[in-house]
Chains A and B, each alone.
Chain A
Amino acid sequence: MHDEDANAGPRLRIAVFAGMAELAGCRQIDLPWRGGTVAELRRGLADAHPAVASLLARSAVAVGGRYAGDDDPVAAGADVAVIPPVSGG
């Protein structure tokens, strides 16, 4: 789907859950990624998968098992998860 990047460098594997997995059609989204901030990651993800953009805007991002702010760094190969609004109980 991103042929221009298919054989290029580092990528990021992003775990998605629940309604976001349904919107994305998969539980893990791969993005080409050379490092950047959470804000840049949000933009990259929304551009690559417009279907998730609206829910993504209401979601938290966890990097390395901790919730991260928009200015926090995301290294290539980091463990990243998108956490949409919760509904347990």
Chain B
Amino acid sequence: MASEPAGSEAVRLGREPIDPAQLLAAVADPAAGGNVLFVGTARGITAGVVTNRLTYEAHEPLALAALARLRLRALDRFGLVACAVWHRLGTVAPGEASVAVAASAPHRREAFAAAEWLMECIKAEVPIWKCEEGEDGRREWLHPADPTPRAEAEP
């Protein structure tokens, strides 16, 4: 695989805002022909219900390790030449990015597939939680019935 971005650029879990351009730059690679950037933003309205803000927290060592492992699996599984996975912690206002993945492959198909796969895995496996705060100030941590967090289950 060609020039790897610095570790801190490839996987990031932090409170600073996510700059999509920076993420895309982190996966620039001469062997890339398809570069897919997915940005998940905090949704301000869900089925007519207003969300004032989201707050994210994580088991940081486990979450960082899980993000790094998923990135490596994506590189291998989809034949990517570069990949970056960032997730935000702390308070995120509507419209701001809470998560972003970038995948670069020789051709677009693998890059699209990798970005989709990474997002599915992040939402299912990585120990990160969001708290929704509504217009009325009501707060709720989301712990969906499905998925339950899962170990290092290899596919």
Interface residues of A (CB under 8 A from B): 15, 17-19, 22, 55, 58-60, 62, 65-67, 81, 83-89
CB within 8 A of A17: which of B123, B129, B151, B152? B129
Among B58, B99, B149, the most chain A Cβ lie within 10 Å of the Cβ of B149
Closest B residue by C-beta to A61 = B149
B16-24, B28-36, B45-53, B139-147 - interface stretch: B139-147
Q: How far is the CA of A19 from the CA of B131 in the complex (A)?
A: 8
Q: How far is the CA of A19 from the CA of B142 in the complex (A)?
A: 7
Assess whether A65 is in contact with B149, with CB atoms less than 8 Å apart.
no
CB within 8 A of A60: which of B63, B131, B148? B148
Q: How far is the CA of A15 from the CA of B143 in the complex (A)?
A: 17
Among A59, A67, A81, the most chain B Cβ lie within 10 Å of the Cβ of A67
Assess whether B129 is in contact with A18, with CB atoms less than 8 Å apart.
yes
Q: How far is the CA of A59 from the CA of B144 in the complex (A)?
A: 11
Assess whether B62 is in contact with A65, with CB atoms less than 8 Å apart.
yes
CB within 8 A of B56: which of A15, A22, A67, A88? A88
Interface residues of B (CB under 8 A from A): 40, 56-59, 61-63, 65, 87, 98-99, 119, 122-131, 140-152
Closest A residue by C-beta to B153 = A67
Could you pull out 12 A-B pairs where Cβ atoms are within 8 angstroms?
A18-B141, A58-B143, A60-B148, A67-B151, A83-B127, A84-B129, A85-B149, A86-B125, A86-B127, A87-B142, A87-B143, A87-B144
Assess whether A55 is in contact with B130, with CB atoms less than 8 Å apart.
no
Closest B residue by C-beta to A88 = B128
Within the complex, the shortest CB–CB distance from A19 to chain B, in Å, comes to 3
Given the complex, which residues of B lie within 8 Å of A15, measured CB to CB?
A: 59
Assess whether B61 is in contact with A65, with CB atoms less than 8 Å apart.
yes
Q: How far is the CA of A66 from the CA of B123 in the complex (A)?
A: 19
Among A15, A67, A81, A87, the most chain B Cβ lie within 10 Å of the Cβ of A87
Given contacts A22-B141, A88-B129, 20 further A-B contacts (CB under 8 A): A17-B127, A19-B129, A19-B140, A58-B145, A58-B148, A60-B149, A62-B59, A65-B62, A66-B151, A67-B149, A67-B151, A67-B152, A85-B146, A86-B123, A86-B125, A86-B128, A87-B141, A88-B99, A88-B127, A89-B40
